[in-house]
Chain A
Amino acid sequence: GAVVSQHPSRVICKSGTSVKIECRSLDFQATTMFWYRQFPKKSLMLMATSNEGSKATYEQGVEKDKFLINHASLTLSTLTVTSAHPEDSSFYICSALNGSSQETQYFGPGTRLLVL
C-alpha cells in the first residue's frame, strides 16, 4: 500500500525558533498534499492544501506567514512553523493524494511539536 512518512516524529524547540516538518510520499507521486493539526482528544483540523508547483491554499483562520508550506516536488511537502510559540504545540499530520487514485488520502504518522 501507499506509504507516507513524516520527519521528525517528535520535536522540542524553544519559543521564537522555526521548525520544519517534512512529509514524503514514498512509493507514489502526490500532486496534492494536505496539512492537518490535531489538539489532544480533538479532531483533525485542515490547515492547508498543498499543490505541487503552486502556492498552498490555506483554510480560514490559518496564518500563511506563520505556517509556511512548500511543495517543491511530487513526493515532498514541507511545513515550517515560523517563530514558534507554546500555543503552536500540537500534533501535525500530513496526507497525500495518490495521483492514480484521487479519492484516497494516505496519512503520515504525525509530528509532535512541543514549544517551550
Chain B
Amino acid sequence: KQEVTQIPAALSVPEGENLVLNCSFTDSAIYNLQWFRQDPGKGLTSLLLIQSSQREQTSGRLNASLDKSSGRSTLYIAASQPGDSATYLCAQFSGGYNKLIFGAGTRLAVHP
C-alpha cells in the first residue's frame, strides 16, 4: 500500500526563518511528486510539481527537492512570512490514472 508521510505535523516559527518541510513516500517507483498549499476551509493551490526525472523545482522563495532513492522530498521556504501560514501537503502520483496519494500535511504558522 502506498503511503505518504509528512513531518512535522505542525510548525510555528517567527517571521524571517528559513524552513524545511519533509515528505516521505513508500513507493520507490514514483512517477511525479507535487506540493500544495491549503488555507483553512479552502481548496488546494499547487505550488511545485517535480517530475520523476527531476531532482528539484524552484518558484520564488520555494524550493522542492526529490530523492527517489531515499523516498523523500523536502519543501524549503526561505525568509518565511506571516502570509505563508497554511497547511502544506505533498502528494505522490500513483501512475496510470494520475491518482494522487496525499500526506496528512504540515500546518505552518509564521508569527510576526
Bound-state CA distance A34–B105 (Å) is 19
Complexed CA–CA distance, A108 and B46 (Å): 12
Q: Are A104 and B49 neighbours in the complex by a CB distance under 8 Å?
A: yes
Instruction: Identify A42's interface contact among B44, B101, B104, CB under 8 A.
Output: B104
A72 proximal to B (CB < 8 A): no
The one of A34, A108, A112 in contact with B99, judged by C-beta atoms closer than 8 angstroms, is A34
Q: How far is the CA of A103 from the CA of B51 in the complex (A)?
A: 9
Q: Taking the complex as formed, is B89 at the interface, i.e. its CB lies under 8 A from any CB of chain A?
A: yes
Q: Give the total of B residues in contact with A, Cβ under 8 Å.
A: 24
- A29 at interface (Cβ–Cβ under 8 A)? no
Main secondary structure of the interface of B (DSSP, over half): strand
Number of A-B contacts (CB under 8 A): 57
A19 at the interface (CB under 8 A from B): no
Determine whether B79 belongs to the interface, using a CB cutoff of 8 Å to chain A. Answer: no
From 1 to 59 in chain B, residues with beta carbon under 8 angstroms from any chain A beta carbon are 4, 32, 36, 41-46, 49, 51
List chain B residues, Cβ under 8 A from A102.
98
For residue B88, give the distance in angstroms from its CB to the closest CB of chain A. 12
By the criterion CB–CB under 8 Å, are A49 and B99 in contact? yes
Please pick, from B32, B43, B99, B104, the residue contacting A43 in the complex, using a CB distance under 8 A.
B104
Q: Give bound CA distance, A59 to B105, whole Å.
A: 21
Known: A93-B43, A110-B43. A32 touches B100 (CB 8 A): no
Closest A residue to B4 by CB, please name it: A43
Of A42, A105, A109, which one neighbours B100 at CB under 8 angstroms? A105
Which one of B43, B93, B104 has the highest number of Cβ atoms from chain A below 10 Å of its Cβ?
B43
Contact A44 B43 (CB under 8 A): no
**B104–A32 CB distance below 8 A:** no
Closest 5 CB pairs of A and B: A107-B44, A109-B43, A43-B102, A43-B104, A107-B43
Residues of A within 8 A of B (CB): 4, 6, 32, 34, 41-46, 49, 57, 91, 93, 95, 97, 102-110, 112
Residues of chain B touching chain A, judged by Cβ–Cβ distance below 8 Å, are: 4, 32, 36, 41-46, 49, 51, 89, 91, 93, 97-105, 107
